[in-house]
């Protein structure tokens, strides 16, 4: 490796640290609580088999509908290093992002063997503010891991394709690394399915002969993965039933594509969670976006022989973004983290333009590159400041997306934690006003009223949550919290029924099992008490020492 490559690696790494070091003090937000803070499965390596056989939210008693065991295994490692200190999880994200950026540089360097172009690709990838959500949001770990191993899969494919048949050991090694990387990428996030298409795109763009046995191996892995997901692991995302047909989502695809490109070109007003939006086919914005997309596609196809790099970069952008364009229903019509892997195509085109400028005017190229790097760094650092404080983050998001009911509900929760109860109630009511069927807001508002001693209002809100068409964890939590309320006012028999409903819906709800064990014990139903006590302990619940002693004493007399 020559000095210029070491220099490139150094600058990419340093810029990654500078850009994201201020994100390390961020707290757990939104899905971080389900995937990390409240997830029992990541707290012991003995749960390793469960990670590869269950939904990502199972350890927290939730159903998200996603099978991504590699990120969950990664969280398990983090937990053993940092416990529940968010700083450690943020540090892991930063390290992973720098590694992905180095792979982005490596892939460009292998394909084009042009150090200025490759270095700029790696630098733009590591520091562009569009990556902030993928890096600063702990729950985006799946994007980072999928990106890392997708790049590695492509890199090892290229290494394998140029390996000499005589060097059989080297050839087998690259083939094995390629296959392993692809499997890990698939188990990190399902969008890695597009990697074989990227290889075909590469062959088409640059007239390279495809290694059929390597491509066949990847396709077999992809097919087996799809069969597994559609048969053995049949869980689907919880929002799927809300969008039965693809037609209403099509206009939003064009709007999202143009918005993504504009954010890459002019990364101002970046924010999390764009929410659910539907557009009319006759909306002027949709028509304009459709024309822009059509012109770009036609131009890149027509010029593919003259500018194969631009054809490849545009193809990379569209192919990798395709799974996130809401053709398959998503809970947001667009999100900046979806651009994590697709952005490489844009950065490749940008770096190509600058490298051509460098050949004609070095001073202008260096000046423009420096301006972009400084600007991107400034915007990334600024955006990270929002991610450190949930109230600032949610407030910034709502300034861009005032009708995002999920963010109103999340903001209400933060207000409540700070003791600003009236503000919390106000935000919960806003979320309900925007989406009258949002069960999570009803359930959490019920918790607020319960703490205030407003029993009738709390019961009403819990029942609204139970009767909503919400996720299992929302309904299960509402049954559990209503059970707690009835227990507090002496209605033990009603509490038992509600706790039973809760564990029926969420078998991993340890606290409900514990409460059932206590109630059954004091009702002298010792068999059921022991059963639920054992289940609570198995799930990691910290049973009260007095009750533990009582149950152990009872169990001792029955041996």
| 235-236-239-241 Cα dihedral, nearest 10 degrees | -100
Exposed / middle / buried, residue 463 (Cβ in 10 Å: 0-12, 13-18, 19+) = middle
Of residues 376 and 50, more confidently modeled = 376
Of 220-229, 243-252, 465-474, the one with minimum mean pLDDT is 243-252
**Maximum separation of any 2 CA atoms in the chain, in Å:** 90
Q: What is the pLDDT of residue 559?
A: 43
Asked whether the beta carbons of 134 and 140 are under 8 A apart, the reply is yes
Of 266-270, 279-283, 539-543, the one with minimum mean pLDDT is 539-543
pTM: 0.86
Question: How do the domains of the chain map onto residue ranges?
Answer: 3-28+84-237+244-390, 403-506, 511-559
First-to-last CA distance in the chain?
Answer: 69
> Of all residues in the chain, what percent carry a pLDDT higher than 90?
61
pLDDT class of 238 with cuts at 50, 70, 90: very low
Backbone angles phi, psi at 44, to 5 degrees: -155, 135
Give the Cα separation of 164 and 244 in Å (integer): 51
* 525: its two tokens: 């139903």
Give the Cα separation of 74 and 326 in Å (integer): 27
pLDDT digits (tens, 9 = 90+) for 300-323: 999 889 999 999 999 999 999 999
Residue with tokens 């209002």: 457
> Of all residues in the chain, what percent carry a pLDDT higher than 70?
94
pLDDT digits (tens, 9 = 90+) for 83-103: 999 999 999 999 999 999 999
Of residues 44 and 500, more confidently modeled = 500
Asked whether the beta carbons of 430 and 408 are under 8 A apart, the reply is yes
Crossing angle of helices 141-162 and 168-188, rounded to 10°: 160
Asked whether the beta carbons of 460 and 481 are under 8 A apart, the reply is no
How large is the average pLDDT for residues 486-495? 91
CATH superfamily, domain 403-506, is Tetratricopeptide repeat domain (1.25.40.10)
């Amino acid at each position: 490796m020559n000095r210029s490559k070491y220099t490139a690696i150094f600058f990419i790494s340093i810029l990654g640290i500078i850009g994201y070091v201020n994100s390390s003090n961020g707290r757990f937000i939104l899905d971080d609580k389900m995937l990390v803070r409240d997830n029992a499965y990541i707290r012991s390596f003995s749960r390793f088999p469960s990670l590869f056989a269950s939904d990502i939210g199972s350890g927290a008693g939730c159903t998200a509908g996603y099978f991504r065991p590699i990120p969950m295994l990664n969280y398990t490692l983090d937990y053993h290093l940092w416990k529940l200190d968010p700083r450690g999880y943020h540090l892991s994200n930063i390290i992973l992002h720098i590694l992905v950026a180095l792979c982005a540089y490596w892939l460009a360097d292998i394909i084009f063997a042009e150090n200025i172009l490759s270095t700029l690709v790696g630098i733009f990838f590591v520091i562009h503010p569009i990556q902030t959500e993928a890096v600063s949001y702990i729950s985006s770990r799946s994007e980072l891991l999928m990106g890392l191993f997708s790049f590695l899969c492509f890199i090892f494919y290229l290494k394998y394709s140029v390996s000499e048949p005589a060097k059989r050991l080297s050839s087998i090694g690259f083939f094995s690394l390629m296959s392993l990387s692809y499997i890990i990428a698939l188990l990190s996030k399902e969008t890695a399915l597009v990697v074989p298409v990227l290889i075909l795109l590469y062959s088409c763009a640059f007239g390279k002969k495809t290694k059929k046995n390597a491509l066949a191996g990847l396709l077999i892995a992809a097919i087996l993965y799809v069969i597994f997901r559609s048969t053995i692991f049949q869980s689907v995302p919880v929002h799927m039933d809300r969008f039965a047909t693809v037609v209403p989502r099509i206009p939003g695809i064009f709007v999202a594509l143009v918005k993504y490109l504009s954010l890459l070109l002019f990364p101002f007003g970046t924010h999390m969670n764009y929410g659910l939006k539907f557009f009319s086919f006759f909306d002027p914005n949709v028509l304009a976006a459709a024309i822009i997309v059509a012109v770009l596609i036609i131009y890149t196809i027509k010029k593919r022989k003259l500018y194969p790099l631009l054809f490849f970069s545009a193809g990379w952008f569209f192919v990798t973004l395709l799974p996130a364009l809401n053709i398959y229903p998503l809970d947001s019509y667009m999100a900046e983290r979806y651009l994590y892997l697709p952005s490489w195509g844009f950065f490749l085109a940008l770096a190509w333009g600058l490298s051509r400028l460098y050949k004609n005017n070095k001073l202008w190229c260096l000046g423009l590159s420096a301006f972009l790097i400084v600007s991107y760094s400034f915007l990334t650092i600024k955006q990270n400041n929002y991610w450190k404080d949930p109230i600032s983050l949610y407030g910034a998001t709502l300034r861009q997306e005032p009708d995002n009911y999920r963010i109103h509900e999340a903001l209400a929760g933060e207000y409540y934690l700070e003791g600003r109860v009236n503000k919390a109630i106000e935000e919960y009511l806003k979320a309900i006003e925007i989406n009258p069927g949002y069960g999570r807001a009803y359930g959490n508002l019920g918790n607020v009223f319960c703490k205030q001693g407003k029993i009738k209002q709390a019961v009403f809100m819990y029942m609204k949550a139970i009767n909503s068409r919400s996720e299992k964890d929302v309904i299960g939590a509402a049954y559990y919290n209503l059970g707690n309320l009835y227990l507090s006012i002496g209605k033990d028999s009603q509490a038992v029924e509600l706790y039973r409903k809760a564990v029926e819906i969420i078998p991993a709800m340890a606290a409900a099992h514990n409460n059932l064990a206590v109630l059954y014990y004091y009702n002298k139903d010792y068999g059921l008490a022991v059963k639920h006590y054992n289940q609570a302990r198995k799930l990691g619940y910290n049973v009260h020492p007095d009750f533990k002693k009582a149950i152990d004493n009872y169990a001792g007399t029955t041996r």
